[in-house]
């Protein structure tokens, strides 16, 4: 049933549900897949690139006066700025996405992400312009966070609202792959540059090349997104009723509990990914004594594991159900979190690489189905807003707070204590996931009464 402006359900027999059961043409499928993939590639590339740079470069470039540990904490704090801005971006772009359409909103988000990252590569160091350098980094991180806050939900809806219900997991795989591929891409790019230039040159300007190169990806993403069509579910909903004047208010009135439960669904993934790619990278160099190139190589390899297991998770979710797929991986995450730091602390590059790869494999298994599972929890009229808020709240906790707390907890209570923190977060994620309804077999055009 459609939902009226006041949030109540009404009956309508004039329009069939927007549920395309027959596969789309090959060309249409490829365009949708690429349009959702390329935007999340930029999103995750930007964040992965920044995470590695924040661990290995930024303390020396933008916070040189603070010294080692304090500089690292300040650098990770700037990593968290974008995560604070992400829920605001989810509300802002979710409002426009639910009122005016998914396509136009996604064009705005990809421009915000691309421009913010490109400009980061052009900021002079603190030794050149002083305190203005970290201030500019913080401002651009906020711009990134706003744009990324609206990107994930829009990209997920672009494919899930076009997909046949029996292939929704497959379609939703592409925005998730877009978030996974850049882990290897960003680390591999930095490793290649690091091998080609001296350490001093790498810190001076070599790290800037991948940031500036984002401009090329942005132009490609813009071109592709201009060519996609609006989603059938959104068009169908607009035929039935005028858009909600306040999607956020309606979502909070109708499904506040679901939004909070949804905020835990991706907690294992985002915590594991950002702790592994930012804090653990710094931990490998500063505590374990590994070289920067060894850390970058292991990070790139773990990114390939993340990509592969993300794809496996998305495809399997169409067969075994998304709740089962995600929740089972999160339970595995509870156990692995307790073994992670004992393995890392053996101090060998083999153990370090294995620890990163298993961490990222579990993160991928918990992540691949999320782009279908979260949107399935909300009706079309405020789906962009509600799914976006749920996901971005997770980003604040897993991507912003966890890497910042890691060095503090480890210095205070040791690495074993932080392993228990990671296990507890993964347990919370599993509880949230299993508390939600599995709508794998349902149409995306459902009502609150279904």
Could you read off the pLDDT of 91-102 as tens digits, one per residue?
Answer: 999 988 888 888
Q: How confident is the model at residue 449 (pLDDT cuts 50, 70, 90)?
A: low
The per-residue pLDDT for 410 is 87
- Average pLDDT over the chain reads 83
Task: Provide the pLDDT for residue 319.
Answer: 94
- Range of weakest confidence among 163-172, 293-302, 438-447: 438-447
pLDDT the model gives residue 132: 85
Residue 448 — very low, low, confident or very high, per pLDDT cuts 50/70/90? low
Q: Domain residues of the chain, as ranges? A: 26-231+244-435
Q: Could you report the per-residue pLDDT of 264-275, keeping only the tens digit for each?
A: 999 999 999 988
pLDDT in tens, 5-40: 344 444 333 333 444 444 455 557 777 778 888 878
pLDDT (0 to 100) of residue 303: 87
Cα–Cα distance between 52 and 277 in angstroms, integer?
6
92 by Cβ neighbours in 10 Å (0-12 / 13-18 / 19+) ranks as buried
**pTM of the predicted protein model:** 0.79
pLDDT at residue 446, rounded to an integer: 61
Tell me: the pLDDT tens digits for 48-89?
Answer: 677 777 777 777 777 776 765 666 667 767 777 877 888 899
Between 419 and 102, where is the model more confident? Answer: 419
Between 228 and 385, the higher pLDDT residue: 385
> What is the per-residue pLDDT for 225?
85
Q: What is the pLDDT of residues 168-203, one digit of tens each?
A: 988 889 888 887 887 777 777 777 877 887 777 777
Is 438 a residue whose pLDDT tops 60? Answer: yes
What local confidence, expressed as pLDDT, does residue 27 receive?
Answer: 55
CATH architecture of 26-231+244-435: Up-down Bundle (1.20)
pLDDT of 15 reads: 39
Buried b (16+ CB within 10 A) or exposed e, 161-193: bbbebebbbbbbbbbbbbbbbbbbbbbbbbbeb
Cβ neighbours of residue 412 closer than 8 Å, sequence gap 6 or more: none
254: region left, alpha or beta (phi > 0 left; psi from -120 to 50 alpha): alpha
Distance CA 91, CA 339 (A): 38
């Amino acid at each position: 049933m459609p939902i009226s402006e006041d949030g109540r359900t009404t009956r309508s027999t004039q329009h069939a549900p927007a549920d395309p059961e027959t596969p789309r043409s090959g060309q249409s499928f490829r365009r949708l897949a690429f349009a959702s993939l390329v935007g999340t590639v930029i999103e995750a590339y930007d964040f992965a690139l920044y995470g590695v740079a924040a661990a290995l470069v930024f303390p020396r470039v933008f916070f040189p006066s603070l010294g080692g540990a304090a500089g690292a904490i300040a650098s990770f704090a700037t990593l968290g700025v974008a995560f604070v801005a992400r829920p605001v971006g989810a509300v802002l772009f979710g409002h426009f996405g639910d009122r005016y359409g998914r396509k136009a909103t996604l064009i705005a988000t990809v421009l915000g992400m691309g421009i913010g990252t490109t400009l980061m590569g052009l900021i002079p160091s603190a030794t050149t312009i002083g305190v203005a350098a970290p201030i500019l980094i913080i401002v651009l991180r906020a711009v990134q966070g706003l744009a990324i806050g609206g990107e994930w939900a829009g990209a997920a809806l672009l494919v899930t609202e076009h997909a046949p219900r029996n292939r929704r997991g497959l379609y939703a795989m592409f925005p998730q792959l877009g978030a996974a591929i850049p882990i290897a891409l960003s680390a591999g790019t930095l490793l290649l540059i690091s091998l080609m230039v001296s350490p001093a040159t790498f810190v001076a300007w070599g790290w800037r090349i991948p940031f500036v190169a984002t401009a090329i990806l942005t132009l490609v993403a813009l071109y592709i997104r201009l060519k996609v069509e609006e989603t059938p579910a959104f068009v169908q909903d607009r035929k039935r009723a005028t858009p909600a004047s306040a999607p956020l208010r309606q979502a909070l009135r109708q499904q506040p509990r679901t939004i909070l439960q949804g905020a835990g669904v991706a907690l294992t993934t985002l915590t594991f990914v950002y702790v592994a790619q930012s804090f653990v990278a710094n931990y490998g160099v500063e505590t374990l004594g590994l070289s920067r190139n060894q850390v970058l190589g292991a990070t790139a390899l773990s990114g390939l594991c993340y990509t592969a297991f993300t794809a496996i998770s998305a495809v399997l979710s169409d067969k075994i159900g998304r709740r089962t797929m995600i929740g089972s991986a999160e339970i595995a995450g509870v156990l692995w979190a307790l073994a992670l730091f004992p393995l890392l602390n053996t101090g060998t590059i083999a153990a370090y690489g294995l620890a990163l790869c298993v961490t990222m494999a579990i993160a991928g298994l918990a992540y691949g189905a999320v782009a279908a599972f979260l949107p399935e929890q909300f009706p079309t009229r405020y789906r962009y807003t509600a799914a976006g808020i749920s996901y971005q709240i997770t980003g604040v906790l897993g991507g912003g707070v966890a890497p910042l707390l890691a060095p503090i907890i480890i210095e205070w209570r040791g690495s074993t204590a932080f392993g228990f923190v990671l296990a507890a977060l993964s347990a919370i994620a599993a509880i949230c996931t299993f508390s939600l309804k599995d709508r794998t077999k349902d149409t995306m055009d459902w009502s609150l009464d279904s």
